[in-house]
Amino acid sequence: MTLTRVARWLALSLAAGAAWIGLSAPAQAIPVFARQTGHNCQACHISYPELTAYGREFKLNGYTFGEAQNVPLAIALMGEYAKIGDNTNHATGGTICANCSEASFVQWSLFYGGRITENIGVFGQASSGGFPLDTGGSCCNGLASDNTEVRYVHRFSSGVSTLEDDTVVGLLINNNASMQDVWHSAPAWRFPWFPYNGTNLGPAASTFIEGGPNGVGGIQAHRLVGLGGYTWYRKNWYAELTLYRRPWGGPFSIFDYGSGALDAVSKPSDSIVGWSPYYRLAYSKDWGYNSLELGLFGMNGKTYYDAVVRDSTQVQTFRDVALDAQFQFNRNEPWIYSVAGSWIHESNDLSPLVGAGQASQPSHTLNEFNIKGTAYYDRTYGATLAYYQINGTSDNILYGLNNPAGGGSATGSPNSAYWMLELNYVPIQDMRFSLNYQAYTKINGGKSNFDGVGNNASGQNLLQFAIWWVY
């Protein structure tokens, strides 16, 4: 049986299971945190993983509400079907999206942890099946650490008989910059909320913090270790500093478990130079059913271009700083609305790339803007519209001027823009059906023949149908 057939079989089983549960006994869900707290998913989530005000409290208090469970486990299964606008790469004649036009079992995840003690909590996730994607691993390679975090929290409050407004102070260790954030404007938990696996010749550029060239969000997510501290003051102010570095071994290997061999070549995070600071400041205000957040975050990073040589002439530097905002209206009788967005500005120095003939000039700037709006009706029907835009310094080599493999740029520009519309149906709280459409209006500076070798932006549009189920 080929892998494709295995994937198809799994996807079909998942769909059948979904139908069975959906039609027979309306059931309720829930992974570790819900079992621990006795809450429904909707107490903390508008729709997984988007957090409500109470969900933010739960996370900032270190996942410690409720009672520790004897078997703190949960599983999630994800399957999808993808279609691409034009699956022919007009530069090479090959196909662009290998996963398209067939059902695929995208991923399964194991969640573990929750409350350990009154002050310590764990968010643990390990995933498999096409993950991690960047190793190009075949379907169903072993489990690898996904977003994983341990928190220690302490609450300060004055008075004994009468409590007063408080401060939460926390320490954390995790393996993905911004996974600790409780708003949905930072990269780790930004929309879309499904590991869609339809591939296309999309934008060539993305910022460091989102996982650009040697970025932390993509290539190095789950392959680094961050040590940080934060404070949540009177439910109004959030301040955090976390330092990321290449993983240690020993007990810390849980944070990069399964993500590749322990050598510099196959493990790109080994290219991180020293400690990379990630910082976050946010102001939050709740009134009535409304919650507003305004903030900034950023990360300074250095990586070795050549992780084997590892000398100072090989160092690339990235400086990312972002402004972000989020608004939620969560009355839920019957409507919930939310809006979130961020604007990330990056300046980088890629001198080693110039030396290696992979960039025309050392310095670049890159701006990424994203915004999404979501509405849910009666917790069951949801719609999200999102817009993304990338603008930056042109570089003929870096962004692949007329790259014969396709997917480069006809002008050397990284400028791109696209829309995403997603419709959701949540028949029971542990299952979500999604129909997601991505429409590209500009890729790498162009629309028609954007890469100079025959591919069109609209040809990269993706339509994806997904099932997400958690137990």
Partner 1 sequence: MENTITRIAPRAAKVLGGLALALMAGIAAAADDMPATAAAPAAPTTQAGILAAKLAPDRAHKMVNKWCSACHGYNGISIAPTFPVLAGQNAEYIVQELKYFHNLTQDDRAVTHESMFEQWIINITGLRRDYRYDDAPRNEPRAWDFMKGVARDLDEPTMQALADYFAKQPPVAGRPADTGDAAKGKALYLEGDADRGLIACQSCHGPDGKGQGPIPRLAGQHADYVSLQLKYIQSGIRNVEQMQALITNLNETDFANLAAYVQSLN
Please identify, using beta-carbon distances, which residue of 68 and 321 lies nearer to partner 1: 68
Which residue spans within 234-362 are E strands per DSSP?
237-245, 276-287, 290-304, 315-330, 335-349
Provide, rounded to whole angstroms, the least separation between the CB of residue 71 and partner 1: 6
- Position of tokens 């271009």? 305
| DSSP annotation of 7 | H
92 contributes a contact to partner 1 by CB under 8 A: no
Minimum distance of partner 1 from residue 425's CB (angstroms): 15
- By CB under 8 A, is residue 435 in contact with partner 1? no
Q: Is 29 near partner 1 (CB under 8 A)?
A: yes
Site for partner 1 contains 236 (CB under 8 A): no
* Closest C-alpha among 125, 156, 120 to residue 32: 125
**Residue 17 sits in the site that holds partner 1 (CB under 8 A):** yes
Q: Look at residues 368, 375, 380 and name the one whose alpha carbon lies nearest to residue 422.
A: 375
Strands 149-156 and 144-145, how do they pair?
Answer: unpaired
Q: Are 191 and 420 in contact (CB under 8 A)?
A: yes
Binding flag, residue 333, partner 1 (CB under 8 A): yes
Does position 284 bind partner 1 by CB under 8 A?
A: no
Spatial contact of 210 and 178, defined as CB atoms under 8 Å apart: no
Token pair 């330092």 is found at 243
Is 393:363 a contact under the CB 8 Å cutoff? Answer: yes
Backbone angles phi, psi at 354, to 5 degrees: -65, -45
Interatomic CA distance for residues 141 and 402, integer angstroms: 35
414 and 446 Cβ atoms separated by less than 8 Å: no
Give the whole-angstrom CA distance, residue 319 versus residue 207.
9
Rg (CA), the chain: 22
- 143 contributes a contact to partner 1 by CB under 8 A: no
| Smallest separation, CB 235 to partner 1 (Å) | 8
Could you tell me the smallest distance in angstroms from the CB atom of residue 33 to partner 1? 10
Alpha helices in 39-104 (DSSP H): 41-44, 53-60
User: Binding mask 382-421 vs partner 1 (x if CB under 8 A, - otherwise)?
Assistant: ----------------------------------------
Window 170-229: residues binding partner 1 (CB under 8 A): none
Among 136, 251, 288, 357, binds partner 1 (CB under 8 A): 288
Q: Are 17 and 431 in contact (CB under 8 A)?
A: no
Binding to partner 1 by CB under 8 A, coded x per residue (else -) over 34-53, reads: xx-xxxx-xx---------x
Is residue 20 at the binding interface for partner 1, with CB under 8 A as the rule?
A: yes
Q: Which is nearer to partner 1, 68 or 423 (CB)?
A: 68
Per CB under 8 A, does 338 bind partner 1? no
Q: Which among 181, 72, 170, 51 has a CA at the least distance from the CA of 116? A: 72
C-beta of 39 vs 364, nearer to partner 1:
39
Given 25, 142, 251, 311, the residue binding partner 1 (CB under 8 A): 25
Among 65, 108, 189, 318, binds partner 1 (CB under 8 A): 65
Distance separating alpha carbons of residues 114 and 35, to the nearest angstrom:
10
d(CA 291, CA 238): 14
Kindly state the smallest distance separating residue 154's Cβ from partner 1, in Å: 11
Binding mask 358-387 for partner 1 (x = CB under 8 A): ---------------------x--------
Of 75, 29, 38, 28, nearest to 58 (Cα)?
38
Question: Taking the complex as a whole, how short is the minimal distance between the CB of residue 39 and partner 1, in angstroms?
Answer: 4
Judged by CB under 8 A, which stretch of 17-25, 300-308, 388-396, 417-425 contacts partner 1?
17-25
| 154 versus 447: smaller Cβ distance to partner 1 | 154
Report the interface residues with partner 1, using CB under 8 A: 17, 20-21, 24-30, 34-35, 37-40, 42-43, 53-54, 57-58, 61, 64-67, 71, 73-75, 118, 155, 157, 160-166, 286-289, 330-333, 379, 428-429, 471
